[in-house]
Amino acid sequence: MNIVLQLAFALMAGFAIWLFTRNINRIRTLILLGKPETIATSQKERIRNLALLAFGQKKMFKNPLVAILHLVIYLGFIIINVEVLEIVLDGLLGTHRLFASLLGHGLYRFLINSFEWMALGVIVVCVIFLIRRNTLKLKRFASNDLNGWPRSDANYILLAEIVLMSLFLKMNAADSVLQLREYGHYADAQVGLFAVSHWLVPFFDGFKTPTLYVLERTFWWLHIAGILAFLNYLPYSKHLHILFAFPNAWFARPDVQGKMANMPEIQKEVALALGQDISTNPVLAALPDAPPASFGAKDVFDLSWKNLLDAYSCTECGRCSAACPANTTGKALSPRTIMMKTRDRLEEIGKNMKGNGGNFKSDGKSLLHDYITVEELRACTTCNACVEECPVSISPLDIILKQRRYLILDESNSPGEWNAMFSNIENNMAPWKFAPDEREAWIHEG
């Protein structure tokens, strides 16, 4: 019977890992549809970003209380799942609390006690976050751009974490009672009661031993099956940032915040128009004489792979939109929605490719116009508040700027006031409608 259970466990774990790997590879394929982008960050700076932004969640600490609560739920959930390694080995080898004998009962009890306090912390914080989202209804959580699946998704994750942590504590409590009764292989563990689950021992002590054994095994199986299910839920959830925050921090751009990346093709045209010698600039000199097929970004294929990684790393926390002056004054723009719509478009393209043998068949749609409107793009003040506020350092602004470039340079779609300014810059080399030799005329006016 034990061999049958081991085989069943191996099949369950193997299928879950295979399915997760397939889904992550699907997302990786979609991200790599983006254009190449070189991010020249030093190894030292990347390690620093990984430690501070991903692990340490540095940018969350602008609001210390919320940051601490989030750190509890994040680190607690990650660290507690170290015990999953023991569960996996027990399931495959048919052992029980394998690490107790390997680590020694003293160290093992210390670790499990630490995990239990973390589990309790995760449960408490998840309850607080549920109340915060659904009862207090903070503006950024009550926003219409979270209507439907995004709002439900956040609640499902919090509820799932409460269930998983509760199963962990119940499993330990039932296990402790079976140890005290010296039942079967539980008698060999003898690690005693644990810090938090011992509060549940009186409840489980009322069950007969065979019933208690079934309960403990049920909790054990549900706990590990729940973790594997949670793992495979992540690729369909905004909580994918739990994983993608790490590569996104590793590939964070080193540029000064708010710096707009120039298009070398445009720089070359301007330099030639001004009669400059571009041979001194190897980047411009290496560009072909023919202009690019298009400027900016109309669809996700025109964005860089880093833009697309940003879209999948978005936490949908809404801090960017809460800080956006356009959004707070009632304009159509929501930086959070920019990232969500980019991801939605990518997912639609993924379905298209799946139905066409891995190739994209034009569907007559594009990110610009069909997902993101001109009104949204024009509302942006390029103040960089969204980038500054994002806890995982994504940049909605970069996507906005690339789409505005397409509007102006490819579609000649810009407000009349902008066109007048562009004309003045082109003809007078300044935004004002004065010839260069007339700029000082006001000095002589009486």
Over residues 369-391, mean pLDDT: 93
Q: Are 342 and 303 in contact (CB under 8 A)?
A: yes
Q: Are 310 and 395 in contact (CB under 8 A)?
A: yes
Name the average pLDDT for the chain: 87
Residues 6+ apart with CB under 8 A from 331: 379
Distance between CA atoms of 343 and 311, rounded to whole angstroms? 5
Show the CA angle centred on residue 204, arms to residues 202 and 209, nearest 5°: 125
Distance between CA atoms of 245 and 34, rounded to whole angstroms? 19
Among the listed residues 413, 410, 411, 402, the one whose alpha carbon sits nearest the alpha carbon of residue 380: 402
Quick one: tokens of 5? 């259970």
Instruction: Supply the pLDDT for residue 445.
Output: 67
> pTM above 0.75?
yes
Query: Which band of pLDDT confidence, cut at 50, 70 and 90, is reported for residue 80?
Result: confident
Q: Are 171 and 227 in contact (CB under 8 A)?
A: no
Q: Check the CA dihedral 214-17-80-122 and report its sign.
A: negative
Higher pLDDT, 27 or 243: 27
Please, where are the H alpha helices in 234-334? Answer: 241-250, 264-273, 282-285, 305-313, 319-323, 325-328
Residues 6+ apart with CB under 8 A from 414: 407, 408, 422
Distance between CA atoms of 123 and 117, rounded to whole angstroms? 10
Higher pLDDT, 137 or 332: 332
Distance between CA atoms of 188 and 137, rounded to whole angstroms? 50
Residues 6+ apart with CB under 8 A from 138: 132
Percent of the chain with pLDDT over 90: 41
Percent of the chain with pLDDT over 70: 98
Please, where are the H alpha helices in 181-240? Answer: 186-189, 201-204, 209-233
Distance between CA atoms of 11 and 343, rounded to whole angstroms? 32
CB atoms near residue 14 (< 10 Å): 10
Query: Which band of pLDDT confidence, cut at 50, 70 and 90, is reported for residue 258?
Result: low
Poorest-confidence range of 66-75, 262-271, 433-442? 433-442
Model pLDDT for residues 98-117, shown as the tens digit of each residue = 888 888 888 888 888 888 99
Model pLDDT for residues 287-343, shown as the tens digit of each residue = 887 777 788 899 999 999 999 999 999 988 889 999 999 999 999 999 999 999 999
Region for 263 from its dihedrals, namely left if φ exceeds 0, alpha if ψ lies in -120 to 50, beta otherwise:
beta
